[in-house]
Structure 1
Amino acid sequence: MLYQVLHGVVPPLFRLVWRPQVRGLEHVPATGPVILASNHLSFADSVVIPTLVPRRVAFLAKDDYFTGTGPKGAFTKAWFEALGMLPVDRDDPQAALKSLDVALEVLREGGAFGIYPEGTRSRDGRLYRGRTGAAHLALTAGCPVVPVGLVGTERLQPVGSNLPRLARIRVSFGAPIEVAGRFEGVPLGRARRELTDEVMTAIAGLSGQEQAGVYNERPALA
């Protein structure tokens, strides 16, 4: 119920204030399981995509956002749940496996799941090599992957900023990459890698980013 209320208010307000350029939204299937695989530039990415897509898109979020106390904690939890966010404990050694299980549950129920194949935000604007989690999900669920290219969201909410800023952004949705029947007889590891590289090439074409050719690693904690 809260999702319907927020989705009736937030998207028009977002378009009015930020006037995002949105291309290819017709490529997102209206129903059925689908993966939205995007480049990752800002914390705001997980808000921008669900705000612009007409159907509910589930993203994973740190479970800290769901466990706060007091009025602020309650509001934060309600906000993230309304956006379709799903909590995951990133400090759990099994978090990666558990997150894939959560994603598969969403897809098996016919939902849309958003994922960043790079694994973490790009700190220099380049597009990093994709990890194979999205391909694993697509091949397991037998669902298409819609590549998404974001431009300018790093200016919308820079690292360390608590509030969004006025910035011009562009969100481009590419044609769905189908997997059904394409990788029969191909070893699973090779199929995941080939599909991942295809998705990342499509994202690069949409975002215009230089491809780094290496994996993006999380910065070491001080």
Structure 2
Amino acid sequence: MLYTVLHSVVPPLARAVWRPTVEGLHHVPDSGPVIVASNHLSFVDSVVIPCIVPRKVVFLAKSDYFTGSGLRGSAQRAWFEGLGMLPVDRDDTKAALASLDTALEVLGRGEAFGIYPEGTRSRDGRIYRGRTGVAHLALTAGCPVVPVGLTGTPDIQPIGSNVPRLAKVSVRFGEPIRVAGEYDGVPTGRARRDLTDRIMAAIGGLTGQEPAGVYNERPVDA
């Protein structure tokens, strides 16, 4: 109910304010399980994508956002829940692994799941090597992956800023990468690595970012 109410208000308002440039939205299927895999530049990426895609896209968010107290904590929790986000403790290895099961449950319900294969946001604008969790989900669920390229989102809320700003944002959706039958007989590890690299290449093609060639490690204070 909360999601329905917020999604009827927030996306139209956000689009009216920021007027993002959107390309290829038709590549996102109207129904059925799908993974929406994007590059990651800003905290607001997880708000921008759900505001653009007509259907619900479930993202995982830091559990800290759901545990605040008082009026502010309640409002923040309602906001994230209303956007369809689910809490995950990124500092707990077991919880992080369990988040993959949560994602599979979302896909199993025929919903869309949003993920950032880089793991954490890029602070230098380059695109980093993808982690294979996205391929694990796609191959296990047998669902397509729609690559997404975001540009301009760091300008909406720069690191250290608490107030959103007007900025020129572009959201490009690429053709779905389908996995059904693509990796039959291929060793699991090789299949996950190859598919992940294909997904990251597709995302990079949408953004034009310089490849970093390495994994992006999350800063201790992130």
Q: TM-score, normalised by structure 1?
A: 0.98
Deviations 1:158-211 (A, max 9, x none): 111112111000000111000000100100100001100000000001111011
1:218 deviates by 1.2
Partner residue in 1 for 2:151: 151
Partner residue in 1 for 2:129: 129
2:57 is equivalent to residue 20 of structure 1: no
Report SS of the residue matched to 1:48: helix
Deviations 1:62-112 (A, max 9, x none): 111111111111111111001010001122221221110110110011110
Partner residue in 1 for 2:35: 35
> Kindly, what percent of the aligned residue pairs are identical?
74
Given residue 171 of structure 1, which amino acid in structure 2 is its aligned partner?
V
Partner residue in 1 for 2:50: 50
**CA–CA distance in structure 2, aligned partners of residues 176 and 128 of structure 1:** 21
2:50 is equivalent to residue 59 of structure 1: no
Q: Which blocks of at least 5 consecutive residues in structure 1 are unaligned?
A: none
Partner residue in 2 for 1:142: 142
Given residue 58 of structure 1, which amino acid in structure 2 is its aligned partner?
V
Q: Which blocks of at least 5 consecutive residues in structure 2 are unaligned?
A: none
Question: Alpha carbon RMSD of aligned pairs, Å?
Answer: 1.1
Deviations 1:22-55 (A, max 9, x none): 1111000110000000000000000000111100
Report SS of the residue matched to 1:147: strand
Partner residue in 2 for 1:91: 91
**CA–CA distance in structure 2, aligned partners of residues 221 and 163 of structure 1:** 20
Partner residue in 2 for 1:182: 182
1:3 deviates by 1.2
2:212 is equivalent to residue 173 of structure 1: no
Partner residue in 2 for 1:82: 82
**CA–CA distance in structure 1, aligned partners of residues 204 and 220 of structure 2:** 27
Given residue 72 of structure 1, which amino acid in structure 2 is its aligned partner?
R
Report SS of the residue matched to 2:93: coil
Partner residue in 2 for 1:217: 217
Partner residue in 1 for 2:118: 118
Partner residue in 2 for 1:9: 9
The answer as to whether partners of 2:30 and 2:55 remain within 8 angstroms in 1 is yes
The answer as to whether partners of 2:89 and 2:96 remain within 8 angstroms in 1 is no
Report SS of the residue matched to 2:148: strand
1:134 deviates by 0.4
Q: TM-score, normalised by structure 2?
A: 0.98
1:221 deviates by 4.6
**CA–CA distance in structure 1, aligned partners of residues 46 and 163 of structure 2:** 14
Given residue 35 of structure 1, which amino acid in structure 2 is its aligned partner?
I
**CA–CA distance in structure 1, aligned partners of residues 209 and 5 of structure 2:** 35
**CA–CA distance in structure 2, aligned partners of residues 190 and 87 of structure 1:** 30
The answer as to whether partners of 2:12 and 2:51 remain within 8 angstroms in 1 is no
Report SS of the residue matched to 2:193: helix
